[in-house]
Structure 1
Amino acid sequence: MPNKQKRTVISVIGPTAVGKTEISLQIAKQFGGEIISGDSMQIYRGMDIGTAKIKLSEMKGIPHHLLDMKDPCESFSAAEFQKIVRKKIEEVHRRGHLPILVGGTGLYIQSVLYDYQFSDAPADFDFRKKMEEYVQAGQAMGLYNQLRSIDPEAAKKIHPNNHRRVIRALEIFYCTGKTMTEFQKSQQNIPLYNDVLIGLTMEREKLYHRIDQRVDKMIEEGLVEEVRDLIKKGVNLECQAMKAIGYKEIFDYLEARISYDQAITLLKKHSRNYAKRQLTWFRNKMNAHWFDLDDEREYCKKIAEILAFIAGKLEIKSNN
């Protein structure tokens, strides 16, 4: 990224179900913006309900990017996201518009906004292939336990069923002798953009209630049928996308591994746990200006406050 002139990027971050979509639309409308999804799963076609992907009818004429670019069995990484989004930011600016990066996948957003170097951790495809053979042989939990002994901090952040990330963490240690955690801590958070970073938060019990309501709505809108259609198209747990929260639980139900009620209970629980991890990541890794959305009666006032904050920041940037 050339340093001669930093581009301005507005980012809206926060946990799942906090209300990022609606507020990002308000920001885009006010400042002539285009929205770039910062969600690692909305990139996949056919995965709409479970990812809470915005519908065309809800976009209010605002251009949206990084939706429906991959088939569910295609791999997608933070490094690929970083490359695509940085290019998209340049395209949006060339059109004279303001890029608005919106999402809850912390590493993905961090990798775009800061000088995050993925190339520091090399790949060993022979090692990766060997580890994938262990997974195929039913030894995935053994690999996860190995990661827990090598890098317990990384293991806490990676679900045991996310075999791709488990293998990658082991691969980094195998290739370099340094853990994934050590690599992440060595990253220099040098901002590449004039970023206006908006964080949205909410009292935990209120947020958890919203998450439960969202899951109920997903079920009403046809999440079970969406997963069933994906299975008919050949999507299974070997595909990276099917490990996403909302899909793994319903997949297990459809495969008769758990009951319907268990699937819903787990989906809500996993979503709440994910929201907690998101907040921890954002607060520890990113210097956002946080806005509390607890009081629904003050919602319009809070949006006005957010828009005024951004306007002030943009004025400061333009004067520098």
Structure 2
Amino acid sequence: MLKGIVIAGPTGVGKTDLSIKLAKEINSEIISADASQIYKDLNIGTAKITLSEMREIKHYMIDIVNPDSDYSVGDFEKEVNKILFEKENSFGTKSKNIMLVGGTGLYIKSVTDGFADLPAKNENIRRELDKKSLEELQKILKDLDEKAWSEIDLSNKLRLVRAIEVCRLTGEKFSELRLKNKKNNNYKFLKIFLTRNRDELYERINLRVEIMIKNGLVEEAKKVYNKYRENLYKISSIGYKELFLYFENKISFDEAVELIKKESRNYAKRQLTWFRKEKDYIIYNFSEMSESKIIKDILKRWKNF
């Protein structure tokens, strides 16, 4: 069995810098596991890595679809396993190692633990559900599958639609079906989770939002708003949906910025909750340990993994 490394953690914790340094140490390529960085045009608000930051480390799963596309965790799992299969079968060449880096827990889990074989999307059902409001979809899902309703991001219309779609197509509960995982690769993963003390993490997130604003997030979000105006409800990435409200004069600019900070902190909190429930993760706290020491310890574990 081949081996890889997972570098997970909440938004703003410092995954990118550490993963680049670690990738150089172990001759690795990086697969991004970020549900927002797969989208084209969403750069500043997703803290997408730049070509200069990549430092010649090959990255996968960045800028692969338009932000109004119906892209699911199942699509991600299939694409990543295709990459892993190709690397596994690169006969005659010295294949590089693989690191899975990001904060989208379900994306990572679909690769490391497997993903349920759920039905393909149904355009007729989606057209019907797309016309309904967020509140109507929440009620439909609660009636069909209360457990899924209690676990899902109720502000994410795409995820609500997908859960309802699966329930209707199978006659079963989405919350139960998605636990019937099937692993489709021959990799075992050393799982690393990076964190910081809450106050420090939240301070970093607030500062990062301010830097994004200075670096042109508003202008970028305006271009996205104009380009995808017909399907804006499909774009739920933090930093964009809040500014869309500002563009529509529903909130002030200052309110939009504060909302981005708040949503980013809440997202980090959800990420921390998710990964703390997962098994087999080795936890490193940047507030208690330097980056260089963390890398050194990971390398020692990797050697014996």
Give the alignment's TM-score, normalised by structure 2.
0.90
Partner of 1:44: 39
Indicate how the Cα distance of structure 1 residues 236 and 13 shifts in structure 2: closer, same or farther if over 3 A, else same.
Answer: farther
Query: 8 Å contact 2:44–2:217 — kept in the other structure?
Result: yes
Query: 8 Å contact 1:11–1:102 — kept in the other structure?
Result: yes
Does residue 115 of structure 2 align to residue 116 of structure 1?
yes
Partner of 1:290: 283
Cα distance between partner residues in 1 of 2:196 and 2:230: 35
Query: 8 Å contact 1:237–1:248 — kept in the other structure?
Result: no
Partner of 2:202: 208
Instruction: Say which is worse superposed, 149-158 or 69-78, in terms of deviation.
Output: 149-158
Matches within 5 A, 1:239-254: 240=234, 242-254=235-247
Matches within 5 A, 1:59-70: 59-70=54-65
CA distances 1:51-102 after superposition (whole Å, capped 9, x unpaired): 1101111111111111111122222111111111111123345351001110
Query: 8 Å contact 1:291–1:306 — kept in the other structure?
Result: no
AA partner of residue 199 (structure 2):
E
1:270 aligns with one of 263, 271, 274: 263
Partner of 1:143: 137
Q: Which has the higher helix share?
A: 1
Unaligned ranges ≥5, structure 1: 1-5, 314-320
Query: 8 Å contact 1:36–1:101 — kept in the other structure?
Result: yes
1:215 Cα deviation after fit: 0.9
1:29 aligns with one of 10, 24, 32: 24
Does residue 194 of structure 2 align to residue 194 of structure 1?
no
Indicate how the Cα distance of structure 1 residues 141 and 128 shifts in structure 2: closer, same or farther if over 3 A, else same.
Answer: same
Indicate how the Cα distance of structure 1 residues 275 and 236 shifts in structure 2: closer, same or farther if over 3 A, else same.
Answer: farther
Partner of 2:51: 56
2:226 aligns with one of 232, 250, 253: 232
Partner of 1:316: none
Indicate how the Cα distance of structure 1 residues 140 and 301 shifts in structure 2: closer, same or farther if over 3 A, else same.
Answer: closer
1:300 Cα deviation after fit: 2.2
Matches within 5 A, 1:122-137: 123-133=121-131, 135=132
Secondary structure class of the residue paired with 2:149: helix
Unaligned ranges ≥5, structure 2: none
Cα distance between partner residues in 1 of 2:182 and 2:207: 39
Cα distance between partner residues in 1 of 2:182 and 2:74: 16
Query: 8 Å contact 1:237–1:243 — kept in the other structure?
Result: no
